[in-house]
Amino acid sequence: MTHHHHQHKPKRGLWTSRLGFIMASAGSAVGLGNIWKFPYITGMHGGGAFVLFFLFCIVSVGIPIMIAEMVIGRHTHKDPVGAFRRLKGGPWTLVGWMGVIAGFVILSYYCVVAGWAVDYLWLSLKGTFSFSGRYAKEVPLIFGNLLADDWAQVFWQAVFMGLTVWIVLGGVASGLERANKIMMPILFLILITLAVRGVASPGGAQALNFLFTPDWGKLDAPSMLEAMGHAFFSLSLGMGAILTYGSYADESVNIPAVAFTVSVMDTFVAMLSGLAMFPIVFTYGMEPAAGPGLVFKTLPIIFAQMPGGFVISILFFMLLVFAALTSAISLLEVVVAYYCDEKKWDRRKATLVMGFIIFLLGVPSALSNNMLKDYHIIGDRNFLDSIDLVATNYLLPLGGLLIALFTGWVMTPKLARAEVEKGNIRFRFYGAWHFLIRYVTPVLVALVFLNKVGLF
């Protein structure tokens, strides 16, 4: 069963190995969310308390829902819409639908931000950060120049979407699994190097203090919702991405073990990113709340000064692009799986057509970043930040809430248990998981929502 190549199963793919499934799920989870988004929203929401609440959400909401999505996916071997229709149908099918819609929305702006990373890879190849003798103060201006250039952003967005489509066309298993196995460890190594360097630098102590000393007064209702929403975004939960990947897994997979491993890796990468960036913020007197450009404004300063900075800058942005790609393909996969399984499109058509439509949907996000024109949609947020807010703070947690309720109350405990323990796996914490998914997780998500609406 473990060596199941997809030519034996013409319609749906399967991972070629257990490790393939772990790496693909970790690849989906680890992405721009960890390296681009986590540090910048942590900066905007005041650090410590936000980080600790985020960690609390990973454990109490994220891990239980990741197990639930894998259980539903593997049990049905279907796309999210098909999975809910098969298990219950009726209004529950809407949960699957919400996931497909979230896939469209999130991927549209994800490609824009990933496009920035591709541009930075190109800049580092040109030696922009290492050989030009730039002063630290000039580095952040490079980012401003990119945002002011509408068509450069659309160009890199298109390049990135092209890469995503190309990989998804190749099918589920193949080359991607192999590439993942090499890239992830290198990404870890570089991040560890940058984090250690950061913590040992003059701004290190201040960064540690900022990241881990809670000032609970700063954790207001919007910050709590942002932290919880980010737990969903970062772990790829609430929209059926992990469900879809689970649908390609076979019985030999130990679901709880994979969910736990992936969550730990994902959290680790986020913390390392914070530890790499905030020392630079404090050393150079930058604003922690610098916003979505944080990663692009901080790390290049250090690349210019490190021995080997030229090579490290190239490697870093290459890996950032790669991490973004392994997440983007899981977003596109949700949409493609729906059109293949439910609409009986062939994979090629679904990938090309949907990739193109999602690219078009992303163009407003790219154009909205031009700071010379003030595009404000929600508060002082431009279009990109606004749909990111709606998707991650509302769509994903709502999807997650419904997935938790479905797993805890609609699926019978017997069915859920049989699915997690398939293939002779004994899930020692089954009781705890089922209690969490039935009571704790849905109540917590609901409380954070109600808190935001101002009910307390």
Q: Please report, as ranges, the residues that interact with ligand PHE according to CB under 6 A.
A: 28-29, 31-34, 106, 233-234, 236, 239, 241, 327, 330-331
180-200 as b/e: b if 16+ CB within 10 A: beebbeebbebbebbbebbbe
Looking at the Cβ atoms of 30 and 71, the one nearer to ligand PHE is 30
Residue 381, strand partner residues: 378
Quick one: tokens of 91?
A: 């209004």
First to last CA, the chain: 52
- Supply 396's token pair: 């994903």
Kindly state the smallest distance separating residue 193's Cβ from ligand PHE, in Å: 21
Q: Which is nearer to ligand PHE, 286 or 295 (CB)?
A: 295
- Closest separation in Å from C-beta 186 to ligand PHE: 18
Chain centroid to Cα 296, Å, comes to 18
Closest to ligand PHE by CB, 34 vs 128, is 34
Among the listed residues 368, 304, 338, 327, the one whose alpha carbon sits nearest the alpha carbon of residue 123: 304
Contact (Cβ atoms closer than 8 angstroms) between residue 33 and residue 330: no
Residue number with CB closer to ligand PHE (76 or 327): 327
Least distance CB 388 / ligand PHE (angstroms):
11
**Closer Cβ to ligand PHE, 304 or 337, answer by number:** 337
**Closer by beta carbon to ligand PHE, 234 or else 313:** 234
- What is the closest distance, in whole angstroms, from the C-beta atom of residue 391 to ligand PHE in the complex? 9
* Nearer Cβ to ligand PHE (37/452): 37
| DSSP-H helix ranges across 221-292 | 221-234, 241-247, 255-283
Which is nearer to ligand PHE, 223 or 267 (by Cβ)? 267
Alpha-carbon torsion, ordered 328, 407, 394, 27, to 10 deg: -20
- Identity of the residue numbered 5: H
Give the residue among 212, 267, 254 at the shortest CA–CA distance from 46: 212
Phi, psi of 128 (to 5 degrees): -55, -40
Q: Are 330 and 244 in contact (CB under 8 A)?
A: yes
Q: Which residues contact 81 (CB under 8 A, 6 or more apart)?
A: 93, 96, 97, 99, 100, 338, 341, 342
Give the CB-nearest residue to ligand PHE.
Answer: 33
CB of 177 to ligand PHE, least distance (A): 17
* Least separation in angstroms between CB 327 and ligand PHE: 4
Cβ-based nearer residue to ligand PHE, 32 or 118: 32
Q: What is the dihedral of CA 302, 306, 308, 310, to 10 degrees?
A: 30
**93 torsion bin: left (phi>0), alpha (psi -120 to 50), beta (else):** alpha
User: How many residues belong to the chain?
Assistant: 456
CB of 98 to ligand PHE, least distance (A): 12
Least separation in angstroms between residue 148's CB and ligand PHE is 25
User: How far, in Å, CA of 236 to CA of 25, rounded?
Assistant: 9
The CB-of-396 to ligand PHE minimum distance in angstroms stands at 7
Strand partners, 378: 381
